[in-house]
Chains A and B, each alone.
Chain A
């Protein structure tokens, strides 16, 4: 029998780092479960979970639930209530995602270089599915100056690369008169 050691999605990519007023750091993965209620079973699910996020919602009745696409939400943390499988599809996604935190007063300016959606009206916290450059993106807005950026694990390098360039560019612009 062998023993396996774990590695992180951003291993070898030199996070965290800062350019100018923004900082990028890796999120240490927790248990993430994709919950997708079967058609017509949302009410039953709400009873068990204490709620289920509508599009764009993030809330924490017990576990943190982040809307993550059509009829699905990611639950962060351990301790899902029993019986969920009768009304929803459940999939462990703890290893599917690479998540990073982009923070600082220029975080929005950095995202404006990469994300083609209107971030002005998003409340905090809230979530959106969109793209970062060509990468699939689950964006969680924590505050006006803090965003969680989640993409698929295999694309961690591209996520870092795109953000690194945009962060450098925004920082360099600050010096222009």
Chain B
């Protein structure tokens, strides 16, 4: 570690940390960031620039870093675009420079830099225009290969991420003097405070700049305040956390680096995506120093002055001989302070004429840096003063073009900042965003004393709005020297001067954009790509704007800023998707028979969130259809058992229950006798069918409504709406009892016989009847309903008995030559009977389309009645439900296929309708289909061509009645 000075508040020198960069073994200290460790190891280029592949070094010491983006090895893969300035060093860390090959020092694509005259702003819009045909085959693949920052790992991302929610009275963003005083004031007042800091260490600028607060070293003051805050139970400190977005209702998005700094994170998530809801928030995010666009300002070794100070104070990185180039008072005082601490300041260059001061180094007023030299890093700078140029040998150039308040978060809801001439920067407007106020440097108060006072003031205002009393708090003494500057956006001298280091945008590119008509700031940004790199132009937006204003002859406030949008800092997709991976993606609903049907080897299919068995394979089955046919046979010839618990069950109870059901069903349920069940249809208010199911009257004021599995939630929401909106005061309540009952269908000619084993006798229950029964001591419900067309019962028991009931029913059925049947068989059975599911009730069909117009009562109003009668929802032009039979019974029908006249081409204009569901019917020995066909009911007997362009299936089909099997229904009634 050749460039380590003494001191360094952030590092523990005794604890060396081995790591690798670009394959080279290096050592840093515990407490280093990757950037500080690289600098301490004398590494200068840490990556190559985006377009010209120029060597680039570390520019900043924070999350705004445009250059030091590296690929970091994590969980076996390299993760791109890791900011070396934020990444903490850990033993065994492996990183490599990105955007260069074969290495950062010798990079093949550096040839781009020689081609720079041809690669100006918008070059690919101009260059790759002709010939047109070359675009897809040649230009695009070429550009794609060269473009992009870093490489995406191809492997599955095995890293863990986490999401979490936090709530507080006051969120303080930033832990510098402003944030600390705000948190302390609010914390002492008893408010719930969350204090968020992006850095590993809280304290902000004083950690980097030293100085005195409250008559002691600033660092000591910070530690004392932190100790008090840690002792307050109502204050939560969140270091390593960046707030990246402000959303409606006081919700803030924040990203915490939880395990990113650990060598072996184990189960510790890499990052946590926090949603912090705060009643009030104080933005104490400070300010970012801005560079100066002078020729050669992108050479490794050129840094922000604040970064030079930060690496020196916190990580004891010795920058060698330093030239400081500034335009403001703060730059000079910083240079003086650093010199006093032993840094070698070779010269202080200030663009202002009227600068003077005591300094142990040459002070050059009215001077500018007009050039730099050094192949892999800075060796000397060229100075111009009063028209004369001279050279100064140095290792580091510290730039300070003034400071920009970090105000992006105040603009996330569309508000615009205002221009403050005194500091030549944009500042937030008070009241820009409800509940969020900027304080301290974030609103342009730059001295430490002003920040301390502003933090207290902001907290007082927030506490008053929260109804809390602010405590009396003594303001610590601190530096209050004024900050003045004369704006210097660019040094006008020959050579390329960089604005956006990450995307390689120079002052010339911005001028060219203006010249070519892209004079609005939003156009300039997109034409040059300035501000569109991962750093989002944090160090370049202001400069580019000023250069654009200069080129167009406008003022800076007149030119305006681009739009600030979340995220303020890069957020990994993994963090955004935290918790939604694998089983977290959506819940699984499992029936009580789930374990048993899986044990029987049934493949499961999803129905909404539920899992249901599709069929029950047996050894030797050549395919799934063999199993399906067997199960259809159980039901048609013996008895089958199927868990139907997933259907929605809603209890509707109360004196007005019948009246309510008359209003939501097309039919009249109030006249249903107790102990009877009726098939019902619910419409949406727009006249289309919402759902179908049965309605049983269990008692005088007690109805049970069933819904389809998929529509259960929607129907409940609909019923709640109708009740709360249109039936105020009616004496009834709704209650979902879906999960209370495990319900098993028992269907087939031997269903009664099976039930006799279960209940001790064959129940004397007519078709569409209900009665309470006992299964031993267990109170159960028996319905005689059928979705298969055979004699059918559904037996419901409290869910705790579901598993055992299913097991015993299947065993009994097997004893009678039957067994369990799955969804495939259920589907065949219902298609054979023309019974409906949501395959047919697809949201576009009316009761008329389904041939169910007879179920719509004329005597009463019901939801959907008025609209269902309007023109266009009934008539010959409607697609109507029909059955389909292929001419050749072995010809496979496919759902989703379209139907055309036999000789007509497969064009939409000839379309007659489409197929909704199909099956092979072992009962009838043919394929069957249900379809919606224009005027279909009047066309039974007609032959059409089925054409499935997607799967290449064609055959001839005949339209028929949708009930294929036992049309009189004798099998289920008798």
Question: Could you tell me which A residues sit within 8 Å of B by CB distance?
Answer: 1-8, 11-12, 29, 34, 36-41, 71-72, 88-97, 112-120, 133-135, 152-158, 161-162, 165, 168-169, 171-173, 175-176
Could you say which of B262-270, B336-344, B532-540 contacts chain A? Answer: B262-270
Q: Which residue of B lies closest to A120 (CB)?
A: B167
Q: Is B739 in contact with A134, judged by CB distance below 8 angstroms?
A: no
The verdict on B579 contacting chain A, using a C-beta distance below 8 Å, is: yes
The smallest C-beta distance from A9 to any residue of chain B, in angstroms, reads: 8
Residues of chain B with a CB closer than 8 A to A1's CB: 757-760, 775-776
The smallest C-beta distance from A31 to any residue of chain B, in angstroms, reads: 11
Question: Could you tell me which B residues sit within 8 Å of A by CB distance?
Answer: 160, 162-167, 192, 258-259, 262, 266-269, 275, 277, 579, 583-584, 586-592, 595, 609-610, 651, 653-655, 728-735, 737-741, 757-760, 775-776, 778, 797-805, 808, 812
Docked pose: A116 CA to B166 CA in angstroms:
8
Q: Is B587 in contact with A172, judged by CB distance below 8 angstroms?
A: no
The smallest C-beta distance from A66 to any residue of chain B, in angstroms, reads: 15
Q: Which residue of A lies closest to B729 (CB)?
A: A39
Residues of chain B with a CB closer than 8 A to A172's CB: 266-269
Residues of chain A with a CB closer than 8 A to B583's CB: 158, 161
Docked pose: A157 CA to B258 CA in angstroms:
28
User: Provided the pairs A1-B759, A95-B800, A154-B589 are in contact, do residues A40 and B729 lie with their beta carbons within 8 angstroms?
Assistant: yes
Q: Is A2 in contact with B775, judged by CB distance below 8 angstroms?
A: yes
Q: Is B800 in contact with A97, judged by CB distance below 8 angstroms?
A: no
Q: Is B591 in contact with A154, judged by CB distance below 8 angstroms?
A: yes
The smallest C-beta distance from B418 to any residue of chain A, in angstroms, reads: 35
The smallest C-beta distance from B871 to any residue of chain A, in angstroms, reads: 39
Docked pose: A5 CA to B797 CA in angstroms:
11
The smallest C-beta distance from B482 to any residue of chain A, in angstroms, reads: 41
Which of A3, A89, A96, A173 touches B653 (beta carbons < 8 Å)?
A89
Which of A97, A112, A134 touches B586 (beta carbons < 8 Å)?
A134
Docked pose: A161 CA to B587 CA in angstroms:
10
Residues of chain B with a CB closer than 8 A to A91's CB: 651, 653, 735, 737, 740
The smallest C-beta distance from B724 to any residue of chain A, in angstroms, reads: 8
Residues of chain A with a CB closer than 8 A to B164's CB: 112-113
Q: Is A173 in contact with B268, judged by CB distance below 8 angstroms?
A: yes
Docked pose: A92 CA to B268 CA in angstroms:
43
Q: Is B590 in contact with A154, judged by CB distance below 8 angstroms?
A: yes
Q: Is A89 in contact with B590, judged by CB distance below 8 angstroms?
A: no
Docked pose: A115 CA to B266 CA in angstroms:
24
Residues of chain B with a CB closer than 8 A to A40's CB: 729
Residues of chain B with a CB closer than 8 A to A89's CB: 651, 653-654, 732-735
Residues of chain B with a CB closer than 8 A to A3's CB: 776
Residues of chain B with a CB closer than 8 A to A153's CB: 592, 739, 799
The A-B contact count (CB < 8 A) is 155
Residues of chain A with a CB closer than 8 A to B741's CB: 95
Residues of chain A with a CB closer than 8 A to B805's CB: 4
The smallest C-beta distance from B649 to any residue of chain A, in angstroms, reads: 10
Q: Is B595 in contact with A176, judged by CB distance below 8 angstroms?
A: no
What are 12 A-B residue pairs whose CB atoms fall within 8 Å in the complex? A1-B775, A4-B801, A37-B733, A40-B729, A72-B735, A89-B651, A155-B588, A157-B588, A169-B162, A169-B269, A173-B268, A173-B269
Q: Which residue of A lies closest to B803 (CB)?
A: A7
Docked pose: A36 CA to B731 CA in angstroms:
11
Q: Which of B268, B592, B609, B799 has the most CB of A within 10 A?
A: B799
Docked pose: A168 CA to B268 CA in angstroms:
9
Residues of chain A with a CB closer than 8 A to B778's CB: 4
Residues of chain B with a CB closer than 8 A to A29's CB: 800
Docked pose: A118 CA to B728 CA in angstroms:
32
Q: Is B732 in contact with A38, judged by CB distance below 8 angstroms?
A: yes
Q: Is A93 in contact with B737, judged by CB distance below 8 angstroms?
A: yes
Q: Is B166 in contact with A39, judged by CB distance below 8 angstroms?
A: no
Residues of chain B with a CB closer than 8 A to A120's CB: 167, 192
Q: Is B801 in contact with A2, judged by CB distance below 8 angstroms?
A: no
Q: Is A6 in contact with B801, judged by CB distance below 8 angstroms?
A: yes
Q: Is B798 in contact with A95, judged by CB distance below 8 angstroms?
A: yes
User: Provided the pairs A5-B804, A95-B740, A95-B798 are in contact, do residues A176 and B262 lie with their beta carbons within 8 angstroms?
Assistant: yes
Residues of chain B with a CB closer than 8 A to A11's CB: 803
User: Provided the pairs A39-B730, A91-B651 are in contact, do residues A96 and B587 lie with their beta carbons within 8 angstroms?
Assistant: no
Docked pose: A7 CA to B591 CA in angstroms:
12
The smallest C-beta distance from B380 to any residue of chain A, in angstroms, reads: 44
Q: Which of B166, B801, B805 has the most CB of A within 10 A?
A: B801
The smallest C-beta distance from A35 to any residue of chain B, in angstroms, reads: 9
Q: Which residue of B lies closest to A152 (CB)?
A: B739
Residues of chain A with a CB closer than 8 A to B802's CB: 7
Closest 10 pairs (CB-CB, A-B): A89-B733, A172-B267, A95-B799, A36-B733, A154-B589, A89-B653, A1-B760, A6-B800, A118-B167, A158-B587
Residues of chain B with a CB closer than 8 A to A6's CB: 800-801, 804
Q: Which of A37, A71, A115, A165 has the most CB of B within 10 A?
A: A165
Q: A2-B757, A169-B160, A171-B267 are in contact. List 15 more A-B contacts (CB 8 A).
A: A4-B797, A7-B800, A40-B729, A41-B731, A94-B800, A95-B740, A95-B798, A112-B166, A120-B167, A133-B584, A153-B592, A154-B589, A154-B610, A155-B590, A169-B267
Q: Which residue of A lies closest to B653 (CB)?
A: A89
Residues of chain A with a CB closer than 8 A to B268's CB: 169, 172-173, 175-176
